[in-house]
Amino acid sequence: MVHGKEFTIQTKGYSDIKDITGEVRHIIEDSKISEGIVTVHAVGSTASISTTEFEPALNADFRDQIEKFIPGSLHTRHSETWGDDNGFSHLRATFMGPSMTVPVSGGAPVLGTWQQIIVIDHDNRPRSRRVFVQVMGE
């Protein structure tokens, strides 16, 4: 069985972190799939999917850290060539990857107590970000 659903979420960009665990749980419930996997995918080349303990202090730490790694002020050939000023967003997204697949068991994603599924939008402006969730199993 395969059950897919796309939703959009409003983000502020600049590696804004949004907790989408609830949305993913609901899509798995709608699928009636008990055992399998769920693939969570950020559509576009400036966002990433991962997990974290979703709480404000750690979210701020993460944004600090990625700003040290690939600064928003980074001069890039991409921004110079295309004038869209989001070269840093693309680099952050390619490093982290756009997708994640997590086991589903007992009709729910297999997660730790303090582990939430997140989309991180690296773009340099607020966006309506598309997330596609594909559930497979039986």
Tell whether residue 70 is a contact of a second copy (CB under 8 A).
yes
Looking at this protein, which amino acid is placed at residue 60?
A
Q: Which is nearer to a second copy, 11 or 116 (CB)?
A: 116
Q: How far apart are the first and last CA of the chain?
A: 6
Does 36 sit near a second copy (CB under 8 A)? Answer: yes
| 138 part of the interface to a second copy, by CB under 8 A | yes
Residues making contact with a second copy (CB under 8 A): 1-2, 4, 6, 35-37, 39, 41, 43-45, 50-53, 55, 57-58, 60-62, 65, 69-70, 76-78, 80-82, 87, 90-91, 93-105, 110-112, 114-116, 118, 130, 132-134, 136-138
